[in-house]
């Protein structure tokens, strides 16, 4: 006959909740689905298991007889879940996170330190770069991306948006004319292989005959140049607020409007196969909490 085991689960839920609707809510199923599934189970069994009333559903005699087996299955299913939880309760192992260089340095690295203090059994490997790694192939477990993924196998767990702002050293800002425009600034930009990054492209779009005054492929070098007064760079505002004790400390935010579209987003992405791995979940939770604090600082 081959009763579907999940149907027995639904059957038990209906009994415990006292109604098909209640069971549907508990199991996060549609009420039509619950109704149909129970009807199919009854068809397979050959007689009614519930007597439907407007107040709910009551077990028939046949349903009463099925109940002990369903309850025992539920007990063993719970054992299975506890078993699995015990086995995987302590997340451990390496989690590889891919992130753009600035994010890698300012957000992920300090976060890794924080996670490691609490969870020494977790190793974090940060892949700093801008290539879209193949999460499905295991090239990274998690990815922080500035573009929303459109691959159906990828899940966007969380995201944070931020205004993009212009930052310089105080000394550099002091020697600017009043109300400077974008073209009045010397720009610090990304060198190859990062030349195609969005900030570079936006500056090219906004400034006629745009030429970067300084370029580097190393984020830290760019920040050092900015602090040394070489020029200006575009950064997410939340990074400036967030990294109070980090490299961005001491940079001055210019009061220059980059336009309504000057908003950057950061997406926490993973492959759906990895989503429930305990070690990945642990790190995702930490990143989400950082996103929470980023949102509150903004």
Partner DNA sequence: TCACAGCCATCCAATTATGGATGACTTCAT
Partner DNA sequence: ATGAAGTCATCCATAATTGGATGGCTGTGA
User: Residue 227's CB: how many other CB atoms inside 10 A?
Assistant: 19
Q: Is 96 a residue that touches DNA (CB under 7 A)?
A: no
3-state secondary structure of 285: helix
The helix-helix angle for 278-297 and 109-118 (nearest 10°) equals 130
69 binds, among a copy of itself, DNA, none (CB under 5 to 8 A by kind): a copy of itself
Distance, CA of 135 to CA of 46 (rounded, Å): 48
Bridging pattern class, strands 154-168 and 252-253: antiparallel
Q: Which of 21, 88, 128, 204 binds a copy of itself (CB under 8 A)?
A: 88
57 binds, among a copy of itself, DNA, none (CB under 5 to 8 A by kind): DNA
Distance, CA of 239 to CA of 223 (rounded, Å): 13
Distance, CA of 210 to CA of 251 (rounded, Å): 23
245 binds, among a copy of itself, DNA, none (CB under 5 to 8 A by kind): none
Give one DSSP letter per residue of 106-137, joined into a string.
Answer: IIIHHHHHHHHHH-TTEEEEEEES-S---GGG
User: Residue 248's CB: how many other CB atoms inside 10 A?
Assistant: 22
Torsion angles phi and psi, residue 226, rounded to 5: -60, -45
- Contact set for a copy of itself, span 14-73 (CB under 8 A): 39, 43-47, 62, 65-66, 68-70, 72-73
Nearer to DNA, 14 or 251 (CB): 14
Cβ–Cβ under 8 Å, residues 262 and 163: yes
44 binds, among a copy of itself, DNA, none (CB under 5 to 8 A by kind): a copy of itself
- Contact set for DNA, span 193-252 (CB under 7 A): none
Q: What is the x/- site pattern for DNA, positions 28-67, by CB under 7 A?
A: xxxxxx-xxxxx------------xxxxxx----------
Nearer to a copy of itself, 203 or 282 (CB): 282
Minimum gap (Å) between residue 68 Cβ and a copy of itself: 8
Q: Is 142 a residue that touches a copy of itself (CB under 8 A)?
A: no
Q: Is 274 a residue that touches a copy of itself (CB under 8 A)?
A: yes
155 binds, among DNA, a copy of itself, none (CB under 5 to 8 A by kind): none
Distance, CA of 224 to CA of 213 (rounded, Å): 14
Residues of this chain that interact with a copy of itself (CB under 8 A) are 1-6, 8-9, 39, 43-47, 62, 65-66, 68-70, 72-73, 76-77, 79-81, 83-85, 87-89, 272-278
Residues of this chain that interact with DNA (CB under 7 A) are 14, 19-22, 28-33, 35-39, 52-57
């Amino acid at each position: 006959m081959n009763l579907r085991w999940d149907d027995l689960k639904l059957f038990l839920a209906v009994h415990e909740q006292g109604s098909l609707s209640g069971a549907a809510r508990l199991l996060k199923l549609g009420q039509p689905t619950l109704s149909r599934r129970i009807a199919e189970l009854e068809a397979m069994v050959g007689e009614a298991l519930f007597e439907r009333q407007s107040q709910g559903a009551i077990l028939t005699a046949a349903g009463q007889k099925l109940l002990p087996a369903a309850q025992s299955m539920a007990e063993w299913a719970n054992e299975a879940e506890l078993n699995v939880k015990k086995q995987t309760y302590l997340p451990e192992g390496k989690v590889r996170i891919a992130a753009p260089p600035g994010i890698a340095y300012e957000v992920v690295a300090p976060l890794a330190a924080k996670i490691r203090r609490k969870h020494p059994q977790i190793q974090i490997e940060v892949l700093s770069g801008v290539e879209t790694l193949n999460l499905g192939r295991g090239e990274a477990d998690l990815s922080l991306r500035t573009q929303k993924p459109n691959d159906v196998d990828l899940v966007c767990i969380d995201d944070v948006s931020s205004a993009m702002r212009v930052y310089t050293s105080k000394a550099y800002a002091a020697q600017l004319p009043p109300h400077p425009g974008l073209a009045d600034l010397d720009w610090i930009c990304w060198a190859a292989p990062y030349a195609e990054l969005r900030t570079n492209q936006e500056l090219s779009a906004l400034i006629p005959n745009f030429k970067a005054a300084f370029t580097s492929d190393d984020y830290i070098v760019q920040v050092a140049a900015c602090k040394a007064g070489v020029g200006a760079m575009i950064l997410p505002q939340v990074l400036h607020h967030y990294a109070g004790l980090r490299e961005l400390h001491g940079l001055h935010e210019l009061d220059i409007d980059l336009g309504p579209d000057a908003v950057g987003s950061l997406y926490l992405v993973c492959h759906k196969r990895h989503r429930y791995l305990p070690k990945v979940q642990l790190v995702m939770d930490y990143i989400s909490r950082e996103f929470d604090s980023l949102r509150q600082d903004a």
